[in-house]
Amino acid sequence: MLKIYLVRHGQTEWNVLRKIQGNKPVPLNETGRKQAEKLGKKLAGLDFSVIYSSPALRTLETAKIIAKYHKGVEIIEVPDLVERSFGEFEGKSREEIEKIPRIKEAWKKQGIDWKPPGGESIRELNRRVIKAFEKIAEKHKNNKNKILIVTHGGVFKIIILHLKNV
């Protein structure tokens, strides 16, 4: 039976500062690199056949650190596993965004269909993430392999909710 392991990227300075990262190329900080090292060591005996990763800098850094403990494992970048695009709001805190007139009301009123300026809605994110995840699962469905997916908090939540409803 196929086993899929999900990992969220390590900590970044923007996590510490509570800034929305979205699709910005934010690297891991020292703590994030140590987290990835520790997890890499902990997962060393699992013998992954492949690692799938969002192409974002922080997820690729995490995937590469973990891959050091899995000799010869390939890292495949999957663009649809990238975090939600928050457009103009990337680099800002949630508190800063909620101070913008009419944003909070639109956010509440439109729910999962609300889009930040230049960004994407939760519904759009959900569609692309589930499609990418199902494609990965289908590709490996007859394998007894273990695969690792390194992604983002929002993407991680969507996959978990999807699996609970399958």
Identify the DSSP state of 19. Answer: B
Strand order in the sheet with 146-151: 3-8, 146-151, 50-53, 74-77
120 carries an active-site annotation = no
Could you say which of 61, 70, 83, 90 is catalytic?
A: 83
Could you say which of 9, 70, 120, 152 is catalytic?
A: 9
What per-residue string of b and e applies to 30-41 under the rule 16 or more CB within 10 Å gives b? eebbebbbebbe
What per-residue string of b and e applies to 145-158 under the rule 16 or more CB within 10 Å gives b? ebbbbbbbebbbeb
Q: Are 150 and 51 in contact (CB under 8 A)?
A: yes
74 carries an active-site annotation = no
Q: Are 34 and 84 in contact (CB under 8 A)?
A: no
**Dist CA 157 CA 132 (whole Å):** 14
Residues tagged active-site: 9, 83
